[in-house]
Amino acid sequence: MCGLAGFFGFNNNTSDRESIRTTLARMTGRIAHRGPDADGFWLDYEAGIALGHRRLSIIDLSEAGAQPMTSASGRYLLSYNGEIYNHLELRAALGVASMAPDWRGHSDTETLLACFEAWGVEAALQKATGMFAFALWDREKRALVLGRDRLGEKPLYYGWQGRGGRRAFLFGSELKSLRVHPAFENEVDRDALMLLMRHGYVPAPYSIYSGIRKLPPGTYATLSRDEPEPHIRTYWSAIETARRGAAQPFAGTPDEAVDILADLLGKAVGRQMMADVPLGAFLSGGIDSSTIVALMQAQSSRPVRTFSIGFHEGEYDEAVHARAVARHLGTDHTELYVTSSDAMGVIPRLPEIYDEPFADSSQIPTFLVSRLARSAVTVSLSGDGGDELFGGYNRYKFSSSLWNSLAPIPLPLRGLAGSAVTAVPVRAWNRVGAALPGRLKYNLLGDKLHKGAGILRCRSADELYYGLVSLWRNPEAIVRGATEPPTQLTGGRPDLAGLDPVERMMALDLVTYLPDDILVKVDRASMAVSLESRVPLLDPEVVAFAWSLPLGYKMRGGETKWPLRQLLYRHVPRALIDRPKMGFGVPVGDWLRGPMRDWGEALLDERRLRSEGFLHVEAVRAAWATHLGGSVNLQYSLWPILMLQQWLEAQAEPVQGAAVPQAA
């Protein structure tokens, strides 16, 4: 895993050459955490291109793996972040076709370069299995190519900035690299704040800054001096994969499906265990991470290193379950119980880690478990992706039956029902959920019911889904002077023909929530401590097979993720796994009423909000007062506001009174 940064389009002025190189060094220096082992630079002053790289050595630790790397012919220069898991197979294919160069080392970077030379960019990307973002300079065409992996595991930002002679095209793994370039304009995109309030993140292709974009997953972009606007092409589509699977469904039995999944996922795990450095896995004790660890241990001659963190608040603590799974599988397990002080101590670092406001509070434990893992390993596998592929989220389980029940009820009556639900305080509902017997037990029932009450006014199943994934259903009531841009959930909605309502939700999560929230969270948290995180469930063969399975195979007999469960039961007793789904979160709602109250109050100070001018002060203050009152838990609505305020504070001098939160 590495980091890249660079810029294109500067003038060939001999007197500026030292400043150009200094700027490139500053850009790569800002992402040294992504690659602490080495840095590298390549500049062509005449062509106006500067490529920089930070290296975290994983495969081929020698200088033969250093970047930016030149292809065997000298035509291409590559700065690349990621891993190509099938690179040995690609080398073999090049050899069979008599297109292999004289290999200098055994890095996947050299393999990818050779594939670009042999087959061209698009064909090479279609053959490559991995996670990656790259900048490729074509010396022959004097063109820059930027590319990103199929599902968005690795990030890539880009955009033209500056005016006149200062104008330059900037690109990099993280926004902090772009910020130090003298052309960077540092203008907040007010419209993007609307998306932040709705989703808790700024989805691709937007970013928090005007003029800076995120390259969408599964695409590559080409530009040159003659054609300066990036031309984006799609080489792989998650939506097309979903539609193709639904149109040509798996015809075997459910048990046969489990056998095939075991083979495909086992091979994916084996490929992703390839490393020349110590390797381990995150283990929460849930279905997805336990399955990955079980398949790792089955292929390892020594105990796999596994890591989990625990909280003393029982409803948030999964460490006890992870410990039981680790004991059964025989892993070398490390766990750490963290206090509220430990967790809140991460909050001041969040703007630096995430670069733009990001409001999934599980970013805190994700960082903590990444830091724990990095104390012993350099690579860690995770179980992300299982919910989106196999129907694991609660909203899938309940939304279809809920809509079938809601649709016949007149809209006014549904509104009254919503009012009745919210009349009972969140804490009272939570006590009811915790008291339910056995498998009926429902963690944080009140939080879910209060959030769901607002969707009772929905007019369709798709509108119901949009309500479920909206932290603020009316972000215009929070953000001043902005218009919500179109996204894949609104004006740019993809063609989902052939998918039923639940499958549409899963497909939309696969192209929005997964890359823009889950994978961002894991990438930034792990790379902040120089840890490479890998996601075997997102292997393209596993993804394609999952989408070929009928929905009745995924949600079967009242169970979600049925194929994954059956695969896991071959390795771990059912009794260790069957329990209510828990989110990987922290009790932010309670903390905001307790040890974090002063911190929140300072960030939401009325004078400060009016001075900044981004938010409607009265609406923000009303939500804050309602949450503090205790009758409603608004942590999910307040967290994006607080993360925006924390981020704004990090961009300028500290705001008077906005102290770092202290635990009681």
DSSP line for 574-612: GGGT-S----S---HHHHHHTTTHHHHHHHT-HHHHHHH
Residues with Cβ within 8 Å of 605's Cβ and at least 6 positions away in sequence, in order, are 655, 657, 658
Cβ atoms within 10 Å, residue 511: 24
Distance CA 460, CA 464 (A): 6
CA atoms of 622 and 500, how far apart (whole Å):
39
Backbone angles phi, psi at 532, to 5 degrees: -85, 125
Residue pair 57/38 in contact by the 8 Å Cβ criterion:
yes
HSE-CB for 54 with a 13 A CA cutoff: 23
Catalytic annotation present for 115: no
Per residue, what are the HEC states of 450-464? Answer: HHHHHHHHCCCHHHH
Q: Which amino acid, one-letter code, is at 41?
A: F
Nearest Cα to Cα of residue 307 among 337, 329, 336, 278: 336
Instruction: Give the whole-angstrom CA distance, residue 502 versus residue 468.
Output: 13
Between CA 234 and CA 218 the distance in angstroms is 6
- 3-state SS record for 319-374: HHHHHHHHHHHCCEEEEEEECHHHHHCCHHHHHHHHCCCCCCCCHHHHHHHHHHHH
Amino acid type, 1: M
Residues 320, 326, 330: CA angle, nearest 5 degrees: 150
Q: How far apart are CA 266 and CA 264, in angstroms?
A: 5
Alpha carbons within 13 A on the beta-carbon side of 528: 24
The residue among 543, 579, 306, 570 whose CA lies nearest residue 440 is: 579
Report the residue count for the chain. Answer: 664
Distances in Å between the alpha carbon of 45 and those of 11, 15, 23, 162, 341? 8, 11, 13, 19, 50
CB 134 within 8 A of CB 127: no
Residue with tokens 């070398």: 332
End-to-end CA distance of the chain: 38
Question: What are the residues whose beta carbons fall under 8 Å from the beta carbon of 580, sequence distance 6 or more?
Answer: 439, 441, 442, 443
* CA distances for 652 relative to 25, 138, 237, 480, 484, angstroms: 23, 39, 40, 21, 26
* Catalytic hit among 2, 124, 344, 528: 2
User: Which active-site residues does the annotation give?
Assistant: 2
